[in-house]
A and B are shown apart, each in its own frame.
Chain A
């Protein structure tokens, strides 16, 4: 047994708000205070450090094929390399490269070094599921999982267009979830990626798909219903139509209503909160979006905060990314139509603080953070790497917690932004407890990770200790201790070990008839067999990962 003394624990699930206490760990799990008689093999004095459960990133593109495309398009990002080096305990630390699009080994190290112990790839194509899980297996330390991308595949769209029963669609969704070892379902530009293949260049919520005649609203409702009926813990993860288009706030608000009370998670909402007011035809609509979230308890969002610097935008949204291609920096971009399933588009991008649009995007993201009242329904993300690489999280936390710092940065960006955003008037400063919610407890609850995101007895002993520092950026960037499954893996920001994390997945049940129908569809029309989409448990272990850990398909109370 390991005892951690003098831990000022912030655990919103247990209502702990920084009181100094001891924590007990055994066999990789948190355990209750065993009393004075218990044998404690090891004691670590945390010296009143701030302690939280390990960070959980609910939306980070670290595994899918599009990230690999982004890497190949950004040779400059990979000119800075990291050496392979031996770790203290003899485990091997691999080499790698990249800042905005880090290679997988170092992506895992960097998450661990800032106290994150889980991250989830939000856009996995079924045909790319195997490669995604292999990449995640090569992303050490953290626990991981992936959301299967549905809603633009021709099989689903034709089922929907032919008026298939909700149960049939749910079977289809369940089959995809189970076979591709996914943890949730994501839809990107519902129907729009497919419509682009038919030369439609835009598709609004109630606009008909040129071939199937269905609308994004129908796609969204069908998937949200299926996800709900299957008991998938995480609501349908939605990247709405009209990504990045000025004035898209109307679509986003309509999408929120379209759920008709079903749970819905809207992702990287910052990119969907744009008005078209003002002399530049681009304005912040964060207030309207935040009010809608505040009003509708069935909604949760993650922000997709923009921070300044070079990054890459990578999305399944071929339609939007094709339109964005002219902004590519450096000037190289790739869009792919994929296997009658979906698509992807990669556009390298540099956000500049002196650019009005970029700086307003930055302000819009912060406005969302500060205006949404319930921290349990908003999660901290940059949509890595779309808004910025996840390594900016400590700085983002400081922006949320330190109003003076926030306003100084507002003074430094494009001068018109302060006038076009209400940011300066927002006094709110996040507390440590709120940070613990938006970076740990909230994402864990939303994903159905019952033994993660908190430190109650029985929880996985993923926890992190930060030396209290008024400079929250410095504090969150370099934890004093990080424990993964009860093992001390980081000391003073330095990685000590790189164990393999778990892959979390669901295995919902489905009617066997759907399997036959899917197999027939693939065999007859596509260039690969449906059964080859299935990722085997043993093959993941053979490759170097761990067999998936199956979570129950029931929603959180």
Chain B
């Protein structure tokens, strides 16, 4: 039997599936679990890799080959939100998480794609520079936000099919966050630039917004008084954004060019905006 696209690497032909053992320590740092660092390893070799000083990967995970996947794909079966910092500083390949991810998913991501079948904890995409994160479930607080030691999201794309918690896009600098299920309170707080798209969000959106755009379908409740209403106008870039989201196969109601523009935060320079699609 010949496996396609596997000849060059000898016996290390497949991706890996790692399944978290129930007896693994509660709070685990998953920063080392990268497709590139495990690529080409046999399950036995991967199991001997250090996960943290003094802990081998095999102590916390059962490791299987994934013959259906190319060797730059890694699948983690995690169960609950125990594994923090999954995909940290990853720069290529595909990381698939079956189950939930913990805090700091995709922190400092530089490339590649992370797909989480479940939800994720706080600070997903903190400091993300490039690459794509897809979360099928809900995300915690500070989505794309500035975790300690990191700036907010700096590039790339962060797509959440479910809901996001409070302060999504906090201090975000560049890139795209889209949340199909809507965001919690303080969405876009202190955002420096970038784009956050959600059908709706909680109270006090955009507080301290310096530049950047929140694109919403419903006007958020308790809008800060430091936003002024610019009325309704046509914004071609929303059509451009709509095409991009479609290309990313991310489902949202269609974005019309027509939107109400709220400008602020006037306390923080007044160069940001909240666009309410459809006026």
Residues of A within 8 A of B (CB): 75-76, 78-79, 83, 330
The 7 closest A-B pairs by CB, nearest first: A75-B149, A76-B149, A75-B148, A79-B149, A83-B53, A330-B151, A78-B149
Q: Which of B44-60 contact A (CB under 8 A)?
A: 53
Query: Given the complex of chains A and B, what is the CA–CA distance between A369 and B196 in angstroms?
Result: 54
Residues of B within 8 A of A83 (CB): 53
Q: Which residues of B does A touch, CB under 8 Å?
A: 53, 148-149, 151
A-B contact pairs, 7 of them (CB 8 A): A75-B148, A75-B149, A76-B149, A78-B149, A79-B149, A83-B53, A330-B151
CA–CA, A193 and B149, complex, Å: 31
The interface residues of chain B lying within 8 Å CB-to-CB of A330 are: 151
A75 surroundings in chain B (CB, below 8 A): 148-149
- A76 partner residues in chain B, CB cutoff 8 A: 149
**Alpha-carbon distance between A535 and B278 when the two chains are bound, in angstroms:** 69
Distance to closest chain B CB from A309 (angstroms): 17
Is the contact region of chain A dominated by helix, strand, or loop, or is it mixed?
Answer: loop
Distance, CA A140 to CA B53, complexed state (A) = 25
* Minimum distance in angstroms from B148 CB to a CB of chain A: 5
What CA separation (Å) do A83 and B54 show in the bound complex?
Answer: 12
Bound-state CA distance A78–B148 (Å) is 11
A75 to B149, CA, bound (A): 5
Q: Which residue of A lies closest to B54 (CB)?
A: A83
- For the complex formed, measure the closest distance between the CB of B108 and the CB atoms of chain A, giving whole angstroms: 10
- Chain B nearest CB, measured from A58 CB (Å): 33
Chain A residue at minimal CB-CB distance from B149: A75
Determine how close the nearest CB of chain B comes to the CB of A254; give it in whole angstroms: 42
B31 CB, nearest partner CB in chain A, Å? 11
**Alpha-carbon separation in the docked complex, A78 to B149 (Å):** 9
A332 to chain B, nearest CB (A): 11
- What A residues does B149 contact at CB under 8 A? 75-76, 78-79
* Distance A164 CA – B196 CA, assembled complex (angstroms): 65
Minimum CB–CB distance from A76 to chain B (whole Å) comes to 5
Nearest to B151 among chain A residues (CB) is: A330
**Complex alpha-carbon distance, A330 and B148, angstroms:** 12
Task: Please name all residues of chain B whose beta carbon is closer than 8 Å to the beta carbon of A78 when the two chains form the complex.
Answer: 149
What is the minimal beta-carbon distance from B101 to any residue of chain A, in angstroms? 20
Task: Give min CB distance, B195 to chain A, whole Å.
Answer: 22
State in angstroms the CA–CA spacing of A79 and B53 once bound together: 15
Q: Which chain B residue has the least Cβ–Cβ distance from A83?
A: B53
- Nearest to B147 among chain A residues (CB) is A75
| Most chain A C-beta atoms within 10 Å of own C-beta, residue among B53, B149, B151 | B149
A308, chain B: closest CB distance, angstroms: 22
Residue on B with the closest CB to A76? Answer: B149
Alpha-carbon separation in the docked complex, A113 to B35 (Å): 37
Distance from A72 Cβ to chain B, minimum over Cβ atoms (Å):
10
Least Cβ–Cβ distance between B272 and chain A, in angstroms:
18
- Report the minimum CB–CB distance from B145 to chain A (whole Å): 15
CA distance A76 to B151 in the complex (A): 11
CA gap between A76 and B147 in the complex, in Å: 11
Measured between C-beta atoms, what is the minimum distance from B18 to chain A in Å? 25
* B53 to chain A: closest residue by CB: A83
Q: Within the assembled complex, what's the spacing in Å between the Cα atoms of A76 and B148?
A: 8
User: How many Å from the CB of A290 to the closest CB on chain B?
Assistant: 41
Residue of A whose beta carbon sits closest to that of B148: A75
* Residues in A whose Cβ lies below 8 Å from that of B151: 330
Tell me the smallest distance from the CB of A356 to a CB of chain B, in Å.
26
